[in-house]
Amino acid sequence: MQSAPIKRVYLALENWFNYSFGSWNPLYHLGTLTFFFFWVVLVSGIYLFLFFHGSLDGAYASVERMTHEQWYAAGVMRSLHRYASDAAVGCILLHMFREFALDRHHGARWYSWFTGVPLLWMVVTLGITGYWLVWDMLAQYIAISSAHLMDALPIFFGSMTRNFLEGALSDRFFILIEFLHLLGQPMLLVFALWFHVRRLSNVNINPPRGLAIGSLLALLALSIAKPAISHGSADLTVVPQMLNLDWFYLNIYPLLDYWSAGQIWMLTIGVTLLLMILPWLPPKRVGAAAVVDLENCDGCKQCFEDCPFDAISVQARTDGAPHEHEVIVDPALCAACGICVGSCHSSNPFRKAQKELKTGIDMPQLPINEVRAMTDSAIAALKGDVKVLVFGCEHGFNVTQLNSDDTVGLTLFCSGMVPPSFIEYALRKGADGVMIAGCRHADCYFRFGNRWMEKRLEGERDPVLRAKVDRQRITVQGGAETDRDVIEQALNKFRQQLTKMGNPGHGTANANEPEGASHA
């Protein structure tokens, strides 16, 4: 169902945000921003609860006192509570659209998408009960309309709308709503959030500090400039006429003026089911899962640490080898990204003990031995004064479009699939420079490919690139499929740098360096 035009339009929008925000591009942090806004909602909500009186007579009056008599404190906190709630829903909607537009809801990611759709409705219902607590005309409208919707379901006995006849409502109503809004729904939401991220590893729930501070300041400014205010007090003898709806939460209610409650439920359930089955419309073809070779695995667990989708686990050794651990791959969770291949120190092209290069964990559809053969062929084909080998990602810019006499692009599943030793190997075999062109910075299709690769080059994550390798002959430039200009500009600048440096003699040692020497 995804169309290329949607992806291209979105990438163009995202690129504009990159120019405006740099590494703080909020579109790269929609999930963590949502968590941050939840924290703002929680803290502001606890503050407001201290001054709130949950009763038919006291609810509206206590909110009005907070809004007007303490406008500089509780009033700002009320507005902050409201706008942070809206921001959370906005981030969730943008997050869903982004995952769909960039095709990040298929394959191994189906679970996160599938469990994320109900989260949206949980957040919306949490906001709805919050509006009830104000007990103004808008709350009255929402409560009665919700009762009509509930009456259309065959799971409730009697008529809920009768509870809102004059004289029928009591303070017990607020006890129920307070329990739902302050305890029941938040606990259920936390549990659902845990389910949502359960199949992801190294989950981060905090946005960049600067982005968080900027977002909070923007919400505070909005709260002061346009404070949230109530409608008139609820009156069950009066039908509300003019209401200002919060369209983030209350968009379904105006349909009751035109449709029956049953039709609205059909629409809501239909849209929900459609969203939940999107990962299989059509099913995504995922490559074969990574395969472990215990003969070449020493159980270092680095692939386990690096796997972005928690597809690798560790268990006690079973083959009698002197190592303590071994890793196993769950094919149902494997995204076939190849990051684990780049994590394995056995993925060393200098190894000569075997005629065929084998590693501890490998991708059946593109084994590391084939990657080495591709690297050898590419370097042999290079001509000219400055020879550049480019390792690319199949989900980023197509680096084969850079092919020329002095440049050859090799496409792997992910930039994180490139073992650091392959960069040194390429330089020793005849390349004057190596360029890594993965996805856009901070936006790896497989979550951590860019990050792990950069940390390996910087010596901050195993397997590291040896310190003796000239970093000036290596450059990293990510880009999406629409970023040809960006990649070409970076490549031209890199060529100019290499030209000034001169020919290095392709390394300080022989390309056939003894096995293991590239991992000091």
Q: What is the pLDDT of residue 56?
A: 87
User: pLDDT confidence of 259, banded at 50, 70, 90?
Assistant: very high
Of 344, 371, 375, 376, the residue nearest 357 (C-alpha)? 371
Whether residues 297 and 266 share a domain: the answer is no
Whether residues 115 and 177 share a domain: the answer is yes
Of 127, 78, 430, the residue nearest 227 (C-alpha)? 78
User: pLDDT confidence of 167, banded at 50, 70, 90?
Assistant: low
User: pLDDT confidence of 517, banded at 50, 70, 90?
Assistant: very low
Name the pTM for this structure.
0.90
Structural domain harbouring 454: 291-501
- Which residue has better confidence, 168 or 83? 83
- Which residue has better confidence, 239 or 407? 407
Instruction: Give yes or no for residue 509 having a pLDDT over 70.
Output: no
User: pLDDT confidence of 354, banded at 50, 70, 90?
Assistant: low
Whether residues 272 and 310 share a domain: the answer is no
What pLDDT, in 10s, does the model give residues 140-165?
A: 999 999 999 998 888 766 677 777 76
Q: What is the pLDDT of residue 208?
A: 93
How far is residue 53's CA from residue 51's CA, in Å, rounded to a whole number? Answer: 7
Instruction: Give yes or no for residue 451 having a pLDDT over 90.
Output: yes
- Residue 12 included in any domain: no
Instruction: Print burial letters for 360-399: b (CB count within 10 Å at least 16), e (below 16).
Output: bbbbeebbbbebbeebbebbeebeeebbbbbbbbebbbeb
- Residue 303 included in any domain: yes
The domain that contains 166 carries what CATH number? Answer: 1.20.810.10
User: pLDDT confidence of 433, banded at 50, 70, 90?
Assistant: very high
How far is residue 233's CA from residue 56's CA, in Å, rounded to a whole number? Answer: 10
- Residue 431 included in any domain: yes
Mean pLDDT, the chain, whole residue set: 91
By the 8 A CB rule, do 200 and 112 touch?
yes
Q: How many separate domains does the chain show?
A: 2
Instruction: Give yes or no for residue 285 having a pLDDT over 50.
Output: yes
Task: Report the range of poorest mean pLDDT among 213-222, 260-269, 341-350, 494-503.
Answer: 494-503
- Residue 21 included in any domain: no
Whether residues 298 and 272 share a domain: the answer is no
- Which residue has better confidence, 374 or 442? 374
Q: Which of 227, 253, 277 is the last residue of a domain?
A: 277
User: pLDDT confidence of 396, banded at 50, 70, 90?
Assistant: very high
Q: What is the pLDDT of residue 401?
A: 96
Q: What is the pLDDT of residue 314?
A: 96
Instruction: Give yes or no for residue 453 having a pLDDT over 70.
Output: yes
What pLDDT, in 10s, does the model give residues 28-47?
A: 999 999 999 999 999 999 99
Of 60, 94, 55, the residue nearest 232 (C-alpha)? 60
- Residue 247 included in any domain: yes
How far is residue 351's CA from residue 514's CA, in Å, rounded to a whole number? Answer: 7
Instruction: Give yes or no for residue 331 having a pLDDT over 60.
Output: yes
- Which residue has better confidence, 508 or 242? 242
How far is residue 292's CA from residue 315's CA, in Å, rounded to a whole number? Answer: 13
- Residue 378 included in any domain: yes
Task: Report the range of poorest mean pLDDT among 10-24, 450-464, 506-520.
Answer: 506-520
Q: What is the pLDDT of residue 434?
A: 98
Whether residues 40 and 78 share a domain: the answer is yes
How far is residue 349's CA from residue 139's CA, in Å, rounded to a whole number? Answer: 68
- Residue 265 included in any domain: yes
Instruction: Give yes or no for residue 81 having a pLDDT over 90.
Output: yes
Whether residues 173 and 75 share a domain: the answer is yes
* E strands present in 267-384: 291-292, 312-316, 325-329, 361-362
Q: Which of 223, 252, 277 is the last residue of a domain?
A: 277
Whether residues 255 and 107 share a domain: the answer is yes
Whether residues 121 and 250 share a domain: the answer is yes
By the 8 A CB rule, do 214 and 24 touch?
yes
- Residue 141 included in any domain: yes
Whether residues 199 and 322 share a domain: the answer is no
Of 303, 340, 300, 297, the residue nearest 321 (C-alpha)? 297
Three-state DSSP class for residue 434? strand
Secondary structure (DSSP) of 213-240? HHHHHHHHHHHHHS-----SBP-TTS--
Instruction: Give yes or no for residue 230 having a pLDDT over 50.
Output: yes
Whether residues 93 and 191 share a domain: the answer is yes
Instruction: Give yes or no for residue 3 having a pLDDT over 50.
Output: no
Q: What is the pLDDT of residue 506?
A: 52
- Which residue has better confidence, 27 or 514? 27
Whether residues 149 and 256 share a domain: the answer is yes
Instruction: Give yes or no for residue 513 having a pLDDT over 60.
Output: no
Whether residues 273 and 322 share a domain: the answer is no
SS (H, E, C) 489-519: HHHHHHHHHHHHHCCCCCCCCCCCCCCCCCC
Q: What is the pLDDT of residue 504?
A: 60
